[in-house]
Amino acid sequence: MAYSTEHSPQPSRNHRSSDPFIRPSASQMVQMNPANTNRNGMNSNMDSGAKLNQFGEPAFFQPNQTVKSKFKIGSANDHYEQEANNAADKVLGNGNASITANGAAPAIQKAPDETIPTGPDWDPAKHVAPNFVADRPAPIRSNTKASTTDAGTASLPTTFIGHAAVDKVSSTWRYQLDSIESKGEIAIVYFTKSRYPAPEPSDDTGELTNVAENNWEDIVKDLHDNRAGIPDFWSAYLAEGLHEEYHWKNEWQVLLNQEMIKAEAEIAKLSLGFGEAASTVEAVAKLKPDVTTIFKAAVSQARSTWMAMSDSPGDPPYIAQAPALDALKDRVNKHAKDKKWDE
């Protein structure tokens, strides 16, 4: 090439001509005046001779308001930018810095940020769905102790596994989540056997041995009146599980999923220049504290929202238990009809 332009020793792929202190690339200058440009991107003035400015540069570097007013900035990585980058690569020997102005030892070196380190590629589209693991201890019986569901605590933690990944587009390290696990516990407490129409087994399918001619109407009324509440006396085994599973699946899992999606987006914004970490191990060490902070905040938010959800008779967790009570009520009704107690 017969002319010289000021190639930065470290040509930036993100070079934007909107920066008033950065000169447009040669190709962009060609773009400035299409009338002088042939389809090969060469300026016809250049072909024809040397119009140099006061700095000895091609004439289009001279201050010229008319030209400035016609200056257009192409979209990022457009044809002209690619061409400029290709030209830069040629000058720099494609990063090998083997070509120098005076033939001396290579003077052009890529900055550490420009060196793509070894590591798995970052996948910005990857989404990790939490894995939910609930401990369900064997049910106990009590007429005062409550069934409980819990998650998102120190003893029932939500944890993540991930790794540092190479984002070649932005030349940075990112943190890629691999998995998320949320532990929970669902502790079922049944009433004593006398409180169930079918006391054994503990799934409401057994014989209705606690149902008699003198109590079946009370049982039906209790099961009906408190289908979405706390029983006066009679209950259904399956109601406990339906209620607690609602907390676990319909509340906690939904809330945590929502917060994790937000957390993933925040984590995806974290980045570390290649020059700031030489390996995946180092990158993880530097990124993980921020990842952990985001993650913990998300779990905490999910738990706060969960605890604020109403859980009184008539609320969704209680409505969720109703089918078990309805089914048992129908069974008792049919039993009474079969025995002709209803006549």
Partner 1 sequence: MEYLISILKASHFLVFFSFHNPDTHSVATYVPKPLEPLGYYISVEVFDRDNIQIYQTYRPKVKPKLDPSRAESYLALEPGYTYGISLELEGFDPKPGVYQVAITYSNQQFQGFDGHSLGEILHREVLTLVVE
Residues contributing to the site for partner 1 (CB under 8 A):
142-150, 153-155, 189, 191, 229-230, 232, 240, 243-244, 247, 251, 306-307, 311-312, 317
Count of C-beta atoms within a 10 Å radius of residue 302? 26
85 CA to centre of own chain: 34
The two tokens of residue 229 are 């509440």
In the complex, what is the shortest distance from the CB of residue 179 to partner 1, in angstroms, rounded to a whole number? 24
Rounded CA gap, 141 and 189, in Å?
Answer: 5
Rounded CA gap, 263 and 257, in Å?
Answer: 10
Residue written as token pair 């003035």: 45
Please tell me whether residue 37 adopts helix, strand or coil conformation. strand
Q: Give the nearer residue to partner 1 in terms of CB position, either 16 or 145.
A: 145
The two tokens of residue 337 are 């009809």
In the complex, what is the shortest distance from the CB of residue 318 to partner 1, in angstroms, rounded to a whole number? 8
Angle at 93 between CA 90 and CA 94, to 5 degrees: 85
121 CA to centre of own chain: 17
Q: What is the CA radius of gyration of the chain?
A: 36
In the complex, what is the shortest distance from the CB of residue 156 to partner 1, in angstroms, rounded to a whole number? 8
In the complex, what is the shortest distance from the CB of residue 159 to partner 1, in angstroms, rounded to a whole number? 16
Q: Give the nearer residue to partner 1 in terms of CB position, either 41 or 229.
A: 229
Q: Give the nearer residue to partner 1 in terms of CB position, either 29 or 255.
A: 255
In the complex, what is the shortest distance from the CB of residue 226 to partner 1, in angstroms, rounded to a whole number? 9
Q: Which residues share a beta bridge with 158?
A: 182
**Do 209 and 199 meet the contact criterion of CB atoms below 8 Å apart?**
yes
Q: Give the nearer residue to partner 1 in terms of CB position, either 119 or 152.
A: 152
Q: Give the nearer residue to partner 1 in terms of CB position, either 147 or 171.
A: 147
Q: Which residues share a beta bridge with 180?
A: 160
Q: Give the nearer residue to partner 1 in terms of CB position, either 78 or 326.
A: 326
In the complex, what is the shortest distance from the CB of residue 133 to partner 1, in angstroms, rounded to a whole number? 17
Q: Give the nearer residue to partner 1 in terms of CB position, either 138 or 146.
A: 146
Rounded CA gap, 89 and 282, in Å?
Answer: 30
Question: What are the E-state strand segments in 168-270?
Answer: 172-187, 189-190
Question: What are the E-state strand segments in 199-283?
Answer: 272-273
Q: Give the nearer residue to partner 1 in terms of CB position, either 69 or 155.
A: 155
Q: Give the nearer residue to partner 1 in terms of CB position, either 38 or 148.
A: 148
In the complex, what is the shortest distance from the CB of residue 149 to partner 1, in angstroms, rounded to a whole number? 4
The one-character DSSP state at 116 is: -
Q: What is the dihedral of CA 111, 112, 114, 120, to 10 degrees?
A: 180
Residue written as token pair 């993540």: 160
Q: Report CA-CA distances (Å) from 104 to 49, 98, 101, 107, 108.
A: 30, 9, 8, 8, 11
In the complex, what is the shortest distance from the CB of residue 262 to partner 1, in angstroms, rounded to a whole number? 22
In the complex, what is the shortest distance from the CB of residue 243 to partner 1, in angstroms, rounded to a whole number? 5
